[in-house]
Amino acid sequence: MLRRFVVKKNECGVLLRDGDFDRLLTAGRHYFVDPLRRLALQVWKLDAAMSDLNLVDYLQRQQPQTVAEHFEYMVLGEDQAGLRYENEVLVEILPPGVRACFWKGLVAHRLECIDLAGETALAPALAARLTQPNLRARPVGGLAGVLLLPVPAYHLGVLKVDGQVARLLQPGLAAFWRFNRDVQVELVDTRLQTMEVGGQEILSRDKVGLRLNLAATWRYTDVLRAFASLNKPVEHLYRELQFGLRAAVGTRSVDELLDNKQIIDEVVSAHVARKLDGFGIEVGAVGVKDIVLPGEMKTILAQVVEAQKSAEANVIRRREETAATRSLLNTAKVMEDNPTALRLKELETLERVAERIDRISVFGGLDEVLNGLVKIGRK
Instruction: Name the nearest CA neighbour of 116 among 144, 146, 86.
Output: 146
Instruction: Give pLDDT, residue 297.
Output: 59
Same domain, 311 and 286: no
Domain range for residue 183? Answer: 120-190
Same domain, 199 and 269: yes
Instruction: Give pLDDT, residue 19.
Output: 86
The domain boundary, picked from 156, 190, 224, lies at 190
Q: Please check whether residue 245 lies inside any domain of the structure.
A: yes
- 141 residue type, one letter: G
Same domain, 322 and 341: yes
Using CB atoms within 10 Å of the CB of residue 142, give its burial: 0 to 12 exposed, 13 to 18 middle, 19+ buried: middle
Residues 8-46 as b/e (b if ≥16 CB within 10 A, e otherwise) read eeebbbbbeeeeebeebbeeeebebeeeeeebebeebeb
Same domain, 201 and 285: yes
- Residue 269 sits in a domain whose CATH number is 3.30.479.30
Q: Please check whether residue 249 lies inside any domain of the structure.
A: yes
Q: Please check whether residue 43 lies inside any domain of the structure.
A: no
Q: Please check whether residue 240 lies inside any domain of the structure.
A: yes
Q: Please check whether residue 242 lies inside any domain of the structure.
A: yes
Same domain, 241 and 313: no
Instruction: Give pLDDT, residue 241.
Output: 93
CA R_g for the chain = 49
Question: Against a cut of 0.75, is the pTM above it?
Answer: no
Q: Please check whether residue 277 lies inside any domain of the structure.
A: yes
CB 138 within 8 A of CB 89: yes
The domain boundary, picked from 139, 165, 190, lies at 190
Tell me, letter by letter, the H, E, C secondary structure of the chain. CEEEEEECCCEEEEEEECCEEEEEECCEEEEEECCCCCEEEEEEECCCECCCHHHHHHHHHHCHHHHHHHEEEEECCCCEEEEEEECCEEEEEECCCCEEEEECCCCCEEEEEEECCCCCECCHHHHHHHCCHHHCCCCCECHHHEEEEEECCCEEEEEEECCEEEEEECCEEEEEECCCCCEEEEEEECCCEEEEEEEEEEECCCCCEEEEEEEEEEEECCHHHHHHHCCCHHHHHHHHHHHHHHHHHHCCCHHHHHHCCHHHHHHHHHHHHHHCCCCCEEEEEEEEEEEECCHHHHHHHHHHHHHHHHHHHHHHHHHHHHHHHHHHHHHHHHHHHCHHHHHHHHHHHHHHHHCCCCCCCCCCCHHHHHHHHHHHHHC
Q: Please check whether residue 107 lies inside any domain of the structure.
A: no
Instruction: Name the nearest CA neighbour of 70 among 40, 94, 46.
Output: 46
User: How many domains does the chain fold into?
Assistant: 3
Same domain, 245 and 156: no
The domain boundary, picked from 293, 314, 337, lies at 293
Instruction: Give pLDDT, residue 238.
Output: 94
Instruction: Give pLDDT, residue 146.
Output: 92
Q: Please check whether residue 230 lies inside any domain of the structure.
A: yes
Same domain, 289 and 330: no
Q: Which mean pLDDT values do the consecutive 10-residue runs of the chain (379 residues) have? A: 88 88 88 89 87 86 86 89 90 91 86 86 87 74 90 92 89 91 92 90 82 91 90 92 90 82 89 92 89 66 65 80 79 72 68 66 56 55
Instruction: Give pLDDT, residue 359.
Output: 64
User: 363 — phi, psi (to 5°)?
Assistant: -135, 130
